[in-house]
């Protein structure tokens, strides 16, 4: 009865959105059979299977060290990956070739049951806080162990979940392992009704998969394609939303004649805005533009003097660069002298600033970073980043940094050192996941520098689905 009450609620909320997208915006719903009907690809193998669910691009990328570690330690384990967004789906297929990738079903009872039957997983790991009632209850009824990994819950989400605390307590009671990034997140889950014995503070796996070597092959290839010299000053505005690209361009235009080797790379957060940002650069600002998607991997972009031959005047005419491909931002951050992380001067709540920090870029972001509150507190506590309040403040911060190269190096060194000091969550997380698998349940509890709780539940409750 409760499942169908949820179904009716979801239909009332979702149907108008789908009709508007289809009839007014003329947009299709990618993977609609998987989402609405649960018709995910049927898993053919009989091996033990772990279903990993990551909502979008950020969570998909975060899974990389976990998947790599599981592949090494348990090669017999089949790993399947679901995602919610189209960009997340595309990146997952690029990052994990050979793995089964599919869209996560909407939380209708018929869809989640169909998907669970088709995948028939041995265990399920949900990234961050992707807790859908029908899905969690359906998995529990089937006796499928559930884990929440790299869990986090923002203050704003916590306030909302408190209004439905009885439902949250029921959902959390079905999850065998709650692996969270910090003690503050653990405290919030306890306040929502989670059993403390099931909660494990592992730290964030975001730090473990972060590249720190600017000479890595993917970054080196982007440098070559974009025709960037080693000594050029590169300002990257990444994971941006409207109007952050405009603010970055305006700052660049105000500073480029003063800082004659300054280059600009724009990386919008959503692929749907790539063309919009290209028009902004070319038509509104009248600037030359090079799009990464138009570059042949075997040649530099046309019409630009190669770095070794570029003179001072040609630098002022050098094009703005647009990274309009998926899955390359993490490598592109390795080109940044100064990095502005977007979604932070808008209401998005910030984007992942760990990757540019790992490369030792001088790190800037706006004041709206509640989605990465713990990371921001770490960075600001170590004086490894600067907050900008507006477009004018962005220009002023850039101007001051570009006039003090020692400050750029100091900020970057602190950021890189902080990332190095936070590593280790992947090993703890993988150990907790493996405990849920059939041949691991009787093993000793995993220990590690980030695990604060002393024991896992002694056994999986036979009545989890009641």
Cβ contact 47:439 at 8 Å: no
Q: Is the pLDDT of residue 460 over 70?
A: no
| pLDDT band at 138; cut points 50, 70, 90 | very high
What is the CATH number that goes with domain 217-421? 3.40.50.2000
Supply the pLDDT for residue 451.
38
CA distance 236 to 82: 30
Domain boundary assignment for the chain: 26-208+424-435, 217-421
Outline where 106-200 has alpha helix (H): 109-119, 133-141, 155-162, 165-173, 183-191
Percent of the chain with pLDDT over 70: 89
CATH of domain 26-208+424-435: 3.40.50.11720
Highest mean pLDDT among 191-195, 349-353, 458-462: 191-195
Across all residues in the chain, what is the average pLDDT? 88
pLDDT at 257: 85
Q: Which residues fall within 8 angstroms of residue 347, CB to CB, at 6 or more apart?
A: 368
The region, left, alpha or beta by phi > 0 then psi within -120 to 50, assigned to residue 191 is: alpha
Q: Give the pLDDT mean for 180-197.
A: 94
297 falls in which pLDDT band (50, 70, 90)? low
pLDDT at residue number 405: 94
Please tell me whether residue 186 adopts helix, strand or coil conformation. helix
CA angle 136, 142, 143 (to 5 degrees): 90
Please check whether residue 206 is in contact with residue 371, taking contact to mean a CB–CB distance below 8 angstroms. Answer: no
Handedness of CA 367, 371, 374, 379 (dihedral sign): negative
Predicted pLDDT of residue 317: 61
pLDDT value at 235 more than 90? yes
DSSP assignment of 334-385: GG-SEEEESSSSSSS-----HHHHHTTPEEEE-S--GGGHHHHHHHHHTT--
pTM over 0.85: no
Average pLDDT in the 231-258 region? 96
Equal fold, 26-208+424-435 vs 217-421: yes
């Amino acid at each position: 009865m409760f499942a169908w009450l949820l179904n009716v609620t979801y239909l009332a909320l979702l149907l108008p959105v789908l009709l508007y997208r289809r009839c007014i915006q003329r947009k299709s719903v990618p993977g609609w059979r998987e989402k609405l009907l649960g018709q995910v690809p049927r898993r053919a193998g009989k091996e033990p299977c772990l279903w990993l669910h990551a909502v979008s691009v950020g969570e998909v990328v975060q899974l990389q060290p976990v998947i790599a570690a599981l592949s090494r330690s348990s090669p017999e384990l089949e790993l399947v990956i679901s995602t919610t967004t189209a960009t997340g789906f595309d990146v997952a297929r690029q990052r994990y070739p050979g793995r089964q990738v599919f869209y996560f079903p909407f939380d209708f009872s018929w869809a989640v049951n169909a998907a669970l039957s088709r995948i028939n997983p041995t265990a399920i790991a949900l990234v961050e806080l992707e807790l859908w009632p029908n899905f969690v209850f359906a998995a529990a009824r089937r006796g499928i162990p559930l884990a929440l990994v790299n869990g986090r819950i923002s203050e704003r989400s916590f306030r909302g979940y408190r209004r439905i605390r009885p439902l949250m307590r029921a959902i959390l009671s079905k999850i065998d392992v709650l692996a969270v990034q910090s003690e503050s997140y653990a405290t919030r889950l306890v306040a929502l009704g989670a059993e403390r014995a099931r909660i494990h503070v592992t730290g964030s796996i975001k730090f473990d998969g972060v590249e720190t070597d600017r000479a890595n092959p993917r970054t080196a290839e982007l440098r070559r394609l974009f025709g960037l010299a080693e000594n050029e000053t590169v300002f990257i505005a990444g994971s941006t939303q409207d109007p952050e690209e405009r603010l970055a361009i305006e700052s660049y235009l105000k500073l480029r004649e003063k800082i004659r080797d300054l280059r600009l790379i724009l990386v919008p957060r959503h692929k749907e805005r790539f063309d919009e940002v290209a028009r902004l650069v070319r038509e509104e600002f009248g600037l030359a533009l090079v799009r990464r998607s138009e570059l042949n991997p075997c040649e530099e972009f046309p019409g630009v003097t190669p770095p070794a031959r570029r003179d001072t005047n040609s630098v002022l005419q050098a094009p703005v660069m647009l990274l309009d491909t998926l899955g390359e931002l993490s490598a592109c951050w390795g080109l940044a002298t100064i990095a502005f992380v977007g979604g932070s001067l808008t209401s998005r709540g910030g984007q992942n600033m760990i990757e540019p920090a790992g490369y030792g870029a001088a790190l800037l972001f706006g004041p709206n970073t509640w989605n990465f509150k713990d990371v921001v507190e770490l960075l600001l506590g170590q004086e490894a980043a600067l907050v900008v309040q507006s477009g004018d403040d962005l220009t002023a911060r850039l101007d001051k940094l570009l006039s003090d190269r020692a400050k750029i190096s100091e900020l970057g060194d602190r950021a890189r050192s902080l990332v190095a000091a936070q590593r280790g969550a992947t090993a703890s997380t993988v150990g907790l996941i493996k405990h849920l698998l059939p041949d691991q349940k009787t093993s000793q509890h995993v220990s590690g520098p980030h695990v604060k709780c002393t024991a896992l539940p002694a056994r999986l409750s036979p009545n989890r689905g009641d």
